[in-house]
Amino acid sequence: MNEIERIIDQLNSDFDGDAWTGPSIMEVLSDINSLKAASKPIQNAHSIWEITKHMNSAIMYVIRRMEGDNSELTPKEDWPDITDTGKQAWEDLINRLRISHLKLISEIAKLMPEQLNEPVFENDFSYFVLLQGLIQHNQYHLGQISILKKGYFSTEGMLSH
């Protein structure tokens, strides 16, 4: 297995597989409904919905860079507003996250292993740092979601809609 294949394997395991760190992103999100996703059991913390949208934004940012767009995320792109907290909107977000992940894997598969140490753009970090950074970013926010989820279980009767 070459390094590209290992990175893809790591991203797939973390996203919807047998992650070394514990439950995958999709496993953690699988039993969260729209009410729980939009709720804020920890005052002044982001909701699961906000974090999930942010994670999708980060994936899309990496794809954008790999496709040649060097622009940074705007604050609204980085942490998009939540305008609809209904069941369908939550399901749509989960589907967008899946589609973004698959598109990312497709973009990574186009790389040659020797490109990993090359800068994404001139005077920029390497593809390796970009992709490892995304893995770290996803794990960080997965931990946040897991902690928020535990908060729901302590108030289950209130949030079980």
At 70, list the tokens.
């060097």
Q: What pLDDT, in 10s, does the model give residues 28-47?
A: 999 999 999 999 888 889 99
Q: What pLDDT, in 10s, does the model give residues 34-83?
A: 999 999 888 889 999 999 999 999 999 999 999 999 999 999 999 999 99
pLDDT at res. 152: 67
Q: Distances from the Cα of 133 to the Cαs of 3, 4, 12, 26, 30, in angstroms?
A: 15, 15, 15, 19, 24
Band (3; pLDDT cuts 50, 70, 90): very high
Rounded to 5 degrees, what angle do the CA atoms 34, 85, 102 make? Answer: 70
In total, how many domains does the chain have? 1
End-to-end CA distance of the chain: 45
Look up the CATH number of the domain holding residue 7. 1.20.120.450
Residue listed under structure tokens 């535990």: 150
CA distance 23 to 102: 19
* Range(s) of the domain holding residue 27: 3-159
Q: What pLDDT, in 10s, does the model give residues 94-148?
A: 999 999 999 999 999 999 999 999 999 998 999 999 999 999 999 999 999 999 9
pLDDT at res. 154: 58
pLDDT at res. 161: 40
pLDDT at res. 155: 53
CA distance 128 to 142: 21
